[in-house]
Amino acid sequence: MVQVIRAETAGFCMGVDLALRKLERLVQNGPAAAPVCTLGPIIHNPQVLKHYADLGVQEIAEPEELPRKSSAVIRAHGIPRDVQDKLAKRGVHIVDATCPKVKKAQMLIHDRTAKGERSLILFGEPEHPEVAGLLSYAGGEATVIEAVDHFERLSLDPEEDYVLAAQTTQDRTEYNRLISRVQEVLGSEVPVLDTICDTTRERQREAADIAACADAMVVVGGYNSGNTRRLVQVVRSLGTPCHHVEQAHELAPEGFAAAQAIGLTAGASTPKEIIDAVEARLHSFFDD
Ligand code: SF4
């Protein structure tokens, strides 16, 4: 009997779930004539994006592109303050779907740096939209570093006061390494903001646990979804064969011919219905 082991953490995280609920409410109950727009893709899942595009939701890149009287949904990553101001000036109906954990990080940074009293060191990916948003809440100087090693190359002013924060999806172990290094160099009084969301790590830990006892693993999620691709890397790094698919029909029985236990997990932007369909297809390979 072939066993399919499905991860409990597979599928939407709280922030994505909340953002999609807000968009859904707007599509169902908003004024019929007013266009609904999202600033960038609401999530990194092509099937979900197509679903909402078919319902008339428009994806726009800049506030200036918003049609008159439209509703603008801010996605879970949040947006920079100047973009928020532009939205307000345009007089559109704003639906803020920024994840509460990202919001908390923005507010903590603002509270600690608002008067320019401290410079921010932010541990994150420089090109990521969430990082652009977080930086806009810093009242003074701000520097982004991608890795602990980068900190060694910074030319810091020892007379200056600093505060340390991280993008919500950064690895907590790496952040702790950075905290130790920063406090060694700049002193233990440098404040550290607790801005990490452990969702990503818990998902990766469960994927690794399942991969360790499975003959093959399936990871479901957008090919352009960063957190889904990282799950695939985690599984492959353990030597477990891994199939990354967006939808159930991409799987073929030949890929699981010798498997007795198949692991199944999914990225934070993968809908439950798609994961259910993948699980059902895996079971169908062995029904006989
Ligand atoms: S991963 Fe965490 S911070 Fe990011 S949207 Fe999901 S719940 Fe929010």
Q: How confident is the model over 217-228, as pLDDT tens digits? A: 999 999 988 889
Contact 164, 179 (CB under 8 A): yes
CATH of domain 101-186: 3.40.1010.20
Q: Inform me whether the pLDDT recorded for 32 exceeds 70.
A: no
Closest atom of ligand 1 relative to the 77 alpha carbon: 5
| pLDDT attached to residue 288 | 63
CA 110–ligand 1 middle distance (angstroms): 19
| pLDDT attached to residue 33 | 66
- Which of 199, 231, 219 lies closest to 14 in space, CA to CA? 199
Q: How confident is the model over 183-216, as pLDDT tens digits? A: 999 999 999 999 999 998 899 999 999 999 999 9
What's the whole-number mean pLDDT along residues 115-125? Answer: 94
CA 14–ligand 1 middle distance (angstroms): 6
| pLDDT attached to residue 188 | 92
In CATH, 3-12+198-284 is 3.40.1010.20: yes
- Ligand 1 contact, 70 CB (< 6 A): no
Confidence of residue 286 (pLDDT cuts 50, 70, 90): confident
> What whole-number percentage of the chain has pLDDT above 90?
82
pTM: 0.88
Name residue 216's beta-bridge partners: 262
| pLDDT attached to residue 80 | 96
Contact 94, 114 (CB under 8 A): no
Q: What are the residue numbers of the active site? A: 130
Burial of 145 (0-12, 13-18, 19+ CB in 10 A): buried
- Which of 177, 179, 173 lies closest to 193 in space, CA to CA? 179
From-to residues of CATH 3.40.1010.20 in the chain: 3-12+198-284, 101-186
Contact 143, 222 (CB under 8 A): no
Closest atom of ligand 1 relative to the 99 alpha carbon: 8
From-to residues of CATH 3.40.50.11270 in the chain: 14-97
What's the whole-number mean pLDDT along residues 105-122? Answer: 95
Confidence of residue 155 (pLDDT cuts 50, 70, 90): confident
- Ligand 1 contact, 217 CB (< 6 A): no
| pLDDT attached to residue 287 | 79
Instruction: Extract long-range pairs of 88-92: CB within 8 Å, 24+ residues apart.
Output: 90/63, 90/64, 90/66, 92/63, 92/66
| pLDDT attached to residue 34 | 82
Q: Inform me whether the pLDDT recorded for 31 exceeds 80.
A: no
With tokens 């999609």, the residue in question is 20
CA 3–ligand 1 middle distance (angstroms): 30
- The CATH T-level fold of domain 14-97 is Rossmann fold (3.40.50)
Share the mean pLDDT of the chain: 93
